[in-house]
Amino acid sequence: KQTDNQLIIDAGQKQFGATMCRSCGMLYSTDSPEDNFQHTQFHQRFLDTIKFVGWKKERVVAEFWDGKIILVLPEDPKYATKKAEDVRRIADSELGFQQITLSSPSSAKTYLFINSDRMVVGCLVAENIRQAFRVLEQPEKPKDINKEDFMERHRAWCCSTVPEKAICGISRIWVFSLMRRKSIATRLLDTVRNTFMYGSHLTKEEIAFSDPTPEGKLFATKYCET
Ligand code: ACO
Ligand code: ZN
């Protein structure tokens, strides 16, 4: 109890005087020299990483009024695989993943959502898998704790121990913070289902999310039921 309250107070103070950069989305306090320094360090590097100049050969797998999705494969030219890796690093650091390595790099397909401002605003890494463990229904949330705490606590044991057949594992899905809730993740996943296996359309049961974050779970639950 005591610690929960303390956390809320601290968060409140941190929000105080905080500014969100309209270009890179970083939340920082303009009053703090250290925050300003960190923002300056992050800002340009981030924008350079998500900048997409266009390639001679692009594997465009979907097109929309507000952007397109391109697919990068491990055997593609260095400039393409490097961009995919750099964007994946950004996603990883936001997700708090420590290791950069993938479980099967040779089969990893990276889908990048490029918006009309030529920025990579979404990234999805899909890999071949044979089996997955279904995420189980959540027990009712007790009234006295907030949603994030609850989901964080239950993250470890929410999966079934019975393996089920799956074909495509989503090891990362990330959308630029300023571009969320515009169906970018939904469109990335729809595109994966249509293009992951040549000539066939995967059902929602044939794809599996690996170790979802609370946000990832909210999205996956919504996506899988609709
Ligand atoms: N809270 C509640 N519901 C949500 C949320 C959320 N934060 N995000 C998505 N949904 C649900 C909504 O019902 C939404 O529909 P609506 O906007 O009409 O209400 C629906 O999912 C579809 O959402 P999209 O717009 O397609 O999702 P978005 O492009 O915003 O991307 C994502 C979602 C990828 C989870 C994004 O929030 C993100 O990058 N978060 C940080 C990184 C992360 O946690 N990634 C998942 C890790 S798990 C893994 O990689 C296997
Ligand atoms: Zn910035």
- Give distance in angstroms: CA of 114 to centre of ligand 2: 19
Residue labelled with tokens 């999205």: 219
Among protein residues, the one whose CA lies closest to atom 16 of ligand 1: 181
pLDDT at residue 217 in the model: 87
- Give distance in angstroms: CA of 16 to centre of ligand 2: 18
Q: Which amino acid is at 77?
A: P
Nearest ligand, CA 38:
2
| Ligand 1 and 186: CB distance under 6 A | yes
Mean pLDDT of 205-218: 87
CA angle 40, 41, 44 (to 5 degrees): 75
- Give distance in angstroms: CA of 178 to centre of ligand 2: 11
pLDDT band at 129 (very low <50, low <70, confident <90, very high): confident
ipTM of the complex: 0.98
| Ligand 1 and 173: CB distance under 6 A | yes
Coil, helix or strand at residue 193: helix
| Ligand 1 and 213: CB distance under 6 A | yes
User: Looking at residue 180, what DSSP letter applies?
Assistant: T
pLDDT band at 160 (very low <50, low <70, confident <90, very high): low
Q: What is the pLDDT of residues 168-179, one digit of tens each?
A: 999 999 999 999
What gap in Å lies between CA 223 and CA 147, rounded to an integer?
A: 19
Phi, psi of 87 (to 5 degrees): -70, -40
Task: Tally Cβ neighbours within 10 Å of residue 98.
Answer: 7
pLDDT at residue 95 in the model: 83
| Ligand 1 and 126: CB distance under 6 A | no
pLDDT band at 12 (very low <50, low <70, confident <90, very high): very low
Q: What is the pLDDT of residues 20-77, one digit of tens each?
A: 999 999 999 988 999 999 999 999 999 999 999 999 999 999 999 999 999 999 999 9
CB 50 within 8 A of CB 120: yes
CB 24 within 8 A of CB 43: yes
Nearest ligand, CA 50:
2
Nearest ligand, CA 20:
2
Task: Tally Cβ neighbours within 10 Å of residue 84.
Answer: 24
- Give long-range contacts, CB 8 A cutoff, 24+ apart: 180-185: 182/66, 184/67, 184/113, 184/121, 184/122, 185/122, 185/124, 185/219, 185/223
Strand ranges (DSSP E) for 42-190? Answer: 60-64, 67-72, 109-115, 120-128, 131-135, 159-165, 168-175
- Give distance in angstroms: CA of 184 to centre of ligand 1: 9
pLDDT band at 138 (very low <50, low <70, confident <90, very high): low
